[in-house]
Chain A
């Protein structure tokens, strides 16, 4: 059974700092991996999707990497801003079976302080 772990559970950084969020998964047979952002009491917004054949994806100040063999992904946020404060969730899509059945981590709650 796939298990997804995110470390740290919470992180507080000063504005302008570069930071890395970590995601690890136990089964390397994955279809793809997605990073989401969730604001309090809100739904999830997809940030980046890395296909199983890819090593990284970039969007603006965000860069996500994937190392399937070690079961790890990282989300790098450059020059953090207070507006980046949110919970970041990692989700792994199962390789077998129909449908996009994601297994989620419990998230990293990020606070960027002025």
Chain B
């Protein structure tokens, strides 16, 4: 069954704690992305990676970190420096490292992060 798997579905963070959200894809896609979704706002890009061992900051990277050690995995760590982490986090992928005009993004089912 091909797709993008995000885990856990729900995650709770205590004050001062770092938490890591998992994103795995078996689509053999080169590029992967992390977006944050807040109620009443559009999705905002946190980080993206076009190739293994390389990643770039998006629009709201502060307080987050990522790694891309394997093609199929792109975990996101929400650090204690992120003061307002409560949001719905979505991972996405697209097929190629050099984008094409007809290239679609495919999304996982998301992780809801809440602060205790």
Q: Which residues of A contact B (CB under 8 A)?
A: 4, 31-32, 34, 36, 41-46, 49, 51-53, 89, 91, 93, 98-107
Contact = CB atoms under 8 A, between A and B. Distances in A.
B74 interface: no
A29 to B, nearest CB: 13
B102 A101 contact: no
Contact of B42 (A31, A41, A103): A103
A31 B94 CA distance: 15
Query: What does DSSP make chain A's interface, helix, strand, loop or mixed?
Result: strand
Contact of B110 (A43, A45, A98, A105): A43
B50 A98 contact: yes
A49 B106 contact: no
Contacts of A34: 104-105
Identify the interface centre among A31, A43, A103: most chain B CB within 10 Å of its CB: A43
- Mostly, the B contact residues are strand
Contacts, number: 75
A35 to B, nearest CB: 11
B56 A104 contact: no
Interface string B21-52: 00000000001010100001111110010100
A46 B105 contact: yes
A42 B4 CA distance: 12
A106 B105 CA distance: 18
Given A42-B109, A42-B110, A101 B42 contact: no
Contacts of A91: 42-43
21 contacts: A4-B42, A41-B88, A43-B6, A43-B109, A44-B90, A44-B107, A46-B105, A46-B107, A49-B104, A89-B42, A91-B43, A99-B50, A99-B56, A100-B48, A100-B94, A100-B99, A101-B45, A102-B43, A106-B40, A106-B42, A107-B42
